[in-house]
Every structure is written in C-alpha cells, then in structure tokens.
Amino acid sequence: MQSAAFSLFSPSSIPSLKLGKFGSNPRFDPIRVSSSFSDSKQPDLSASSNAVSIPSLPKRSWSLSSSSAFPLRAWTSVPSDSKADLFEVKATVAESAGEGEKSGSLAKTLVLGLLFGLWYLFNIYFNIYNKQVLKVYHYPVTVSVIQFSVGTVLVVLMWTFNLYKRPKITGAQLAAILPLAVVHILGNLFTNMSLGKVAVSFTHTIKAMEPFFSVVLSAMFLGELPTLWVVGSLLPIVGGVALASVTEASFNWAGFWSAMASNLANQSRNVLSKKVMVKKEVSYMILQRVSPVTHSVGNCVKRVVVIVSSVLFFKTPVLPINSLGTGIALAGVFLYSRVKRIKPTAKAA
C-alpha cells in the first residue's frame, strides 16, 4: 500500500476554519461542501509534538455530495444553475396545464350556452312564425306536411354532402322506428292544430302537462309505478293548467283538446322509445353535454321563454290569475324534473 505521514493531533493544533453562517443562506446544504488540497497548500499536520504516524491515503482531492445529480462547485452551497432552471421549467409547465384546463372549461361552457341560446331562439321563432301562418292559412295538416318535407330534404342533403354520417338501419330497426315516427308526426300535427285555435301561450301552458301523461303511460305499459314525490309534483301541474284554462281569454275546446292530444302523442313516443331503443343510441347535441336533469330544467325554462315572448309579440291579454296558473304549472314541471331523479332507497333484506 502507499503510505504517507498522517497524524492524530490535539484540537488546539487545528487551525480555525470559518465557513460562514449556514443559517443565513436558505439554499445552503452542508452535505454538499467539497474540499480539495493541492500539494503546495496542504497543511503539515505532522509537526505536532503529539503526532503518531499512521498509514494515509494518497494526496488527492476528495468531496462529499448528497446526490450525484447535483454538480457542485468547490466551497459553495449553491446548486448548479441548470438544476435551478429545471425547477422553474417544471413549475411553469404545471401552471400552463392549469391555465389550459381553465380555458378548456370556459370553452365548453360557452359552447353549451350557445347551444341553449340557439335552442330557445329557434323555438321562439318557430312558434311565433307558425302562429302567424296558421292565422291566415287555416290548414294545419298541410302546414305540417310542408314542415316535415323540408326537414326530410335537409337531412338528405346532409347525408349527400357528408355533413352528417348516414346511419345503417336494418329492416328490424326500421320496423321498430316506424311507430315512433308516426306518433312524432301526430304530436307535431296536434300542436299545429292547437296553435291555429288558441294563443301560443295557452298551447304551451297545456303542454306543460306532458309529465302527467308520461307517468300515466309509463305505469300502464312499462309497469313503472310513480313514487309519492312524483305524484306530489304532478298536483301543481294539473292545478296550474286548470286554473290557467278557466281564466284564458282565448279558450277554445278544439285548441284545448288538440294540445292534450299532442301531449298524449309525444309521451307515447317516449314510452315506445324506452321499449324498442337503448338510451345510448339516441343522442342530441345538448344531451351529450349535460345531465338529464339539466336538460329537463332547460326544457322547462324554454317553455317559459316561449310563453313570455309570444305574449309580448302578439300582445296577448293576460289576467293576473291566468299568469298565476301558468306559473304554478311550470313550477310543478320544474319540481317534477328534480324529484324524477331521486332514486328510491333500497330496502334491507
């Protein structure tokens, strides 16, 4: 082995070595201090009178480090600038990710708000324009045929130019969809007949009774018995429609029963769709983005918007008691949309 004079000595013989105040620098790590002696500056420790010679290591530089991942400088406690920059980059990436999530959420909210706005706007325009046409052209069947014909042409054009993917429907699926199409056409036909006889606001007040028909038909054909909460929510709907009907200035039995028939047809469509179709197969632009409760509440608000806009546009005379009945019915629809989502508690075995 190589040997050299290396000594044990008393504390008094050690020259004082001041490294400064460690606590003053928050970035200081004493483990990372490195030491190096050159041949010319190495202290002669064998001069002590109490020295005892022992084997020594070769004269070379040595250092201590807590991690090889941190390159260190001699007699310094500051990590290399490259690692400090790495920490800053990581923090910047995390902040950028958070900002990206916020911007994405804002974009989704804006798109959803735009879809709801277009939904309401198109409904307002359709009902007002439909009423104007039916006031001068008293043929609701012809109007309905023209409406569905235009819709068919638009769909065919969308398929032709690949604006919307054409679904592949088998014969069995077509046979199942056909009854849904028939009741859907009847629902729109009866709505047009009602709009031709009574005010738009009254037609939509009567159509607020759709939940009542939905509960009755589901119990009859699907065996879905309503809960007490659902039955309770139907009371203000029926009561509000009855109050609005008694005080309606434009009341007409033909218009009243046409609106009721529209409710029956539309809810029959919903019941049939539950029997022959899977929910996931039927999707709409708004239903893809919100929960069913949000969509139901939005539909209730849509009816309010249509009623108010039609009253303002046509300057329909409305009595306070009539407004109260309409408000009670719509409040019942909102309550129904909420309690319908309440799941019954499972009974303990």
Domain boundary (83, 113, 142) is at: 83
Residues 232 and 144 in one domain: yes
In this structure, the number of other CB atoms found within 10 A of the CB of residue 7 comes to 16
N-to-C CA span, the chain: 84
Domain boundary among 27, 61, 83: 83
How far is Cα 237 from Cα 325, in angstroms, rounded to an integer?
9
- Based on the domain organization, do 134 and 238 belong to the same domain? yes
pLDDT at position 236: 94
Tell me, yes or no, whether 231 lies in a domain: yes
In a shared domain, residues 158 and 263: yes
Say whether pLDDT at 224 is over 50: yes
Which of 6-10, 157-161, 289-293 is the least confident region? 6-10
Residue 62, beta-bridge partner list = 35
Within a domain: 327:
yes
DSSP at 31: G
* Dist CA 255 CA 247 (whole Å): 15
Q: Give the highest mean pLDDT range of 100-109, 234-243, 267-276, 331-340.
A: 234-243
Domain that holds residue 71: 1-83
Which pair of structure tokens corresponds to residue 152? 């068919």
228 plus 324 within the same structural domain: yes
Count of domains forming the chain? 2
Query: Which range, 1-15, 277-291, 320-334, is most confident?
Result: 320-334
**Mean pLDDT across the chain, nearest whole number?**
75
CB 276 within 8 A of CB 176: yes
Segment 199-216 shows an average pLDDT of 92
**307, 206 in Cβ contact below 8 A?**
no
User: What confidence tier does 306 reach under pLDDT thresholds 50, 70, 90?
Assistant: very high
